Amino acid sequence: MDLVDLPGLYIADLPRNPARGRESDRLVLYLALTGQPLDPSERVSQMLPNLANTFYKSPGAVTSALRRVAETLNQTLYERNLTGPAGEQRLGLLTCFVLRGDQAILAQSGTVKAVVITAQQSREFYDPDLNPLGLTDAPEIRYFQTSLLPNDSLLFSAQPPENWSVESLRIDHGQGPESVRRRLLSQISGDLSAILIQARPGKGNIQQLRSAPVQPPSGMETRTPETNEQPKVAAATLESQISAQEWPVEPELQQVSNEFTPWTEIPIDGAVAATTLGALEGVPTSEAAPIEITAAPAGEAPVKRTAASCLLAPVLWLGGLFSHLISGIARLLQALLSRVLPEETLASLSNTSMAVIAIIIPVVVVGVSSFIYFQRGLAVQSELALEEAAAAAQLASTQTDPLAQRQAWENTLEYLDQVDSYQSLPQAQELRAQALSAIDALNQIKRVDYQPAIVGGLPATIKIISVAVVGDDLYLLDGNSSSVLRATLTAQGYVLDNNFLCTPNAPSQTGPFIDLLPGSVELEKAADTITIDPAGNLLYCFIDQAATPGNLQPPTARTFTQLVAFTQDFSYLYVLDPPANAIWVYPKGALTQEPRLYFDEYIPPMQDTIDLATAADELYLLHVDGRLTLCQTSNLDVSPTRCTDPAPFLDSRPGLEDTELVPTIPYTQIQYSQPPDPALYLLEPINQAIDLFSLQRLTFQRRYLPASGLAGGPATAFAIDSLNRTLFLAAGNNIYYGRIP
């Protein structure tokens, strides 16, 4: 038999009045608890709605709201573990899934593994060293971000089998939920708790599709099957711009199983069985059983009432009570009016008028009193929170320790969030600006005054995935159509060139194109732009002539598996092929000649790399989890290529100098900036941030953030114009530019 619902899975409804920044966020929570059972007051079914409420009441960045969810649950479990008996810890494996347009943001705590299957590649989100919630006083969280386009899938599990990986699962893009379920069952023996989210075209709603449980015949006993019976599992589905599938686990989550479990194996009491099966043996389901209300005198048949009469009795009683109450108020009102009004006026008032007055006056008094009470209550609460914020700001200004300063200013912002939840006050806005400015200085954040780049904007069907700047020309690769757009700088901004045609039109151009480079005279064929698809097909585009197809010459002994990015350094072209664990180098721009492998003896693991950058004899590989691999080549035969994996980022912020900086949200793109200011720039999409690192020891220098929130959701691409000191940032179909401060 199949479970109708998956315990621990909660799909939150969008509340009527969410906090600022949460209006377009759709939330899915998946919680698995390990260890001792919870008290009845701490059931998962009660905890998850409270966590969702915390998320939608948290304003600001989505990562901040997700952190508050994890902190709330962590505090509950941690305090319980501290006060509970030794050896009875309760730990939480939490996955928070946020859908914003076609962008999916994951926040994971504990050893939760997620696998994303897209048309371009399959990626794995997993941190085996991530502690679960309830183990320490501060939660450990890793954030991941990805796009979900039609037929893309996201599969995750709290405690997956050890052999779970992109290669072992062998799930094809666009494979239906039922087909995926069968494949998983054929690969895994035993029980498993997992969820599959699959994207479908829609309006952005999340819908859970449940499979109805099989009803046993009347009188059939629920039994535990023999151990040699084969488990049968059916899938339920979520649908929106995503649609998803879930697999059953045990109702109470007493322990997190790593195998598929048919729910008939779960010991359940009669109440749960009645709820699950829909009917108990001997109880009719078509109508309610009669309910005896009173005992009859001896010798008489018992008096029985139907369910309708039982429901009607309280209503009649309340009606009588209300009638007596109105009559009493009317008599008191008549006595009062007899002292105020002339006798003839009082006599002219009918009984109906007296009754109406008796109803209206108390209602008006109560309404006015309630309005005054709530208004005054909100004012008092906001004033108290504002006083707390001012005290925290005063403490921050007196601190000399940068870490204590940073914490005090963050406390100030939390109090100001409380103020904003009650009412908007000018003093609070001024204090917020002061706190944000102080935190920016401590965190080495620079605010960029971004402006829309394209005059008139771009169609909503466009999704910019790569940006290139050549002088006054701006080139944008549309990931949906595989076309390249060209815009030229004018006094009003960048204007689209409708005569520039750069779109695949030859049979060999299968696409989709995944990366874009400006043309170079050092390459074999000069062009204004070059695009590449996963199979190595090229498209050369020109301002004054039609696009020309081409292709990279594959290596003789091997073929391209799935290219994901390419870059150019002087006359060398580097092509990244993660499934083949290879980087192919085309020297001197000879793209039609056989390439050579970048590595010689040691080849680092590159199956999860998503981007690359080169700087002279150094190669930087960006992985899907945000870590970086640094490889250095030598022109000496006695000194082979050496790689550092991972290459640690160093912090330089006040109070954190020379410590390792671990990004909480993975980077998605990397670029190298040419002299006179050589540096590495990395894109953090969720906060629309661009981080700058020096080449020496990969030291963090500063973070560029928008001065105000930009439309379009998470960032999808960026570019740097070092000569004109300009940053370009793309988010969906929006492209912005601003001066580097």
- Terminal Cα-to-Cα distance of the chain (whole angstroms): 62
* Alpha-carbon span 277 to 302, nearest angstrom: 33
- With contact defined as beta carbons under 8 Å apart, do 523 and 516 qualify? no
435 assigned to some structural domain: yes
13 assigned to some structural domain: yes
| Domain range enclosing 602 | 448-739
**CA–CA–CA angle 620, 625, 627 (5° rounding):** 35
* Alpha-carbon span 667 to 328, nearest angstrom: 72
State both tokens at 163.
Answer: 């052999």
What pLDDT shows up at residue 588? 74
User: Which residues of the chain carry a pLDDT beneath 50?
Assistant: 1-4, 40-41, 211-309, 346, 368-376
The answer on 460 and 371 residing in a single domain is no
The answer on 16 and 149 residing in a single domain is yes
Residues 6+ apart with CB under 8 A from 552: 532, 536, 538, 560, 575, 584, 586, 591, 595
**Distance of alpha carbon 73 from the chain centroid:** 17
Residues 6+ apart with CB under 8 A from 355: 326, 330
386 assigned to some structural domain: yes
600 assigned to some structural domain: yes
Domain boundary among 394, 426, 442: 442
Residues 6+ apart with CB under 8 A from 153: 116, 117, 171, 173, 175, 180, 196, 197, 198, 199
Q: Sort 248 into a burial class: Cβ within 10 Å, 0-12 / 13-18 / 19+.
A: buried
The answer on 103 and 78 residing in a single domain is yes
Model confidence pLDDT, tens digit, residues 620-677: 999 998 999 999 887 655 557 889 989 999 999 999 999 999 888 999 999 999 887 8
List 689's β-bridge partners, or say none.
684
The answer on 425 and 384 residing in a single domain is yes
pTM to 2 decimal places: 0.63
CATH code for the domain in which residue 129 is found: 3.60.40
* Alpha-carbon span 701 to 677, nearest angstrom: 13
The answer on 380 and 513 residing in a single domain is no
The answer on 657 and 531 residing in a single domain is yes
Domain boundary among 397, 416, 442: 442
Q: Which helix (H) or strand (E) holds 374?
A: helix 351-398
The answer on 645 and 663 residing in a single domain is yes
Domain boundary among 442, 473, 498: 442
Q: Which one, of 640, 636, 603, 596, lies nearest residue 621 by Cα?
A: 603
Tell me which residue has tokens 């500063």. 702
What pLDDT shows up at residue 300? 42
What secondary structure letter does DSSP report for 608?
T
* Long-range contact set of residues 539-542: C-beta below 8 Å, sequence gap at least 24: 539/484, 539/502, 539/504, 539/509, 539/513, 541/484, 541/500, 541/501, 541/502
Helix axes 426-442, 402-422, angle to 10 degrees: 150
CATH code for the domain in which residue 629 is found: 2.120.10.30
The answer on 644 and 514 residing in a single domain is yes
What pLDDT shows up at residue 144? 83
What pLDDT shows up at residue 517? 93
- With contact defined as beta carbons under 8 Å apart, do 373 and 365 qualify? no
315 assigned to some structural domain: no
State both tokens at 150.
Answer: 């039609």
What secondary structure letter does DSSP report for 149?
-
* Alpha-carbon span 581 to 235, nearest angstrom: 35
Position 655, amino acid: G
345 assigned to some structural domain: no
The answer on 491 and 433 residing in a single domain is no
The CB-side HSE value for 687 (13 A sphere, CA atoms) comes to 22
- With contact defined as beta carbons under 8 Å apart, do 81 and 89 qualify? yes
Q: Using alpha carbons only, how large is the chain's radius of gyration in Å?
A: 33
Model confidence pLDDT, tens digit, residues 129-145: 888 998 888 899 988 88
334 assigned to some structural domain: no
* Alpha-carbon span 408 to 401, nearest angstrom: 11
Residues 6+ apart with CB under 8 A from 406: 439, 442, 443, 655
What pLDDT shows up at residue 210? 57
What pLDDT shows up at residue 242? 41
Q: Provide the number of structural domains found in the chain.
A: 3
What pLDDT shows up at residue 647? 93
* Alpha-carbon span 294 to 303, nearest angstrom: 7
- With contact defined as beta carbons under 8 Å apart, do 447 and 707 qualify? yes
The answer on 610 and 735 residing in a single domain is yes
In this structure, the number of other CB atoms found within 10 A of the CB of residue 675 comes to 8
The answer on 467 and 432 residing in a single domain is no
626 assigned to some structural domain: yes
The answer on 33 and 116 residing in a single domain is yes
Pairing of β 726-731 and β 9-11: unpaired
Q: How many residues in the chain?
A: 741
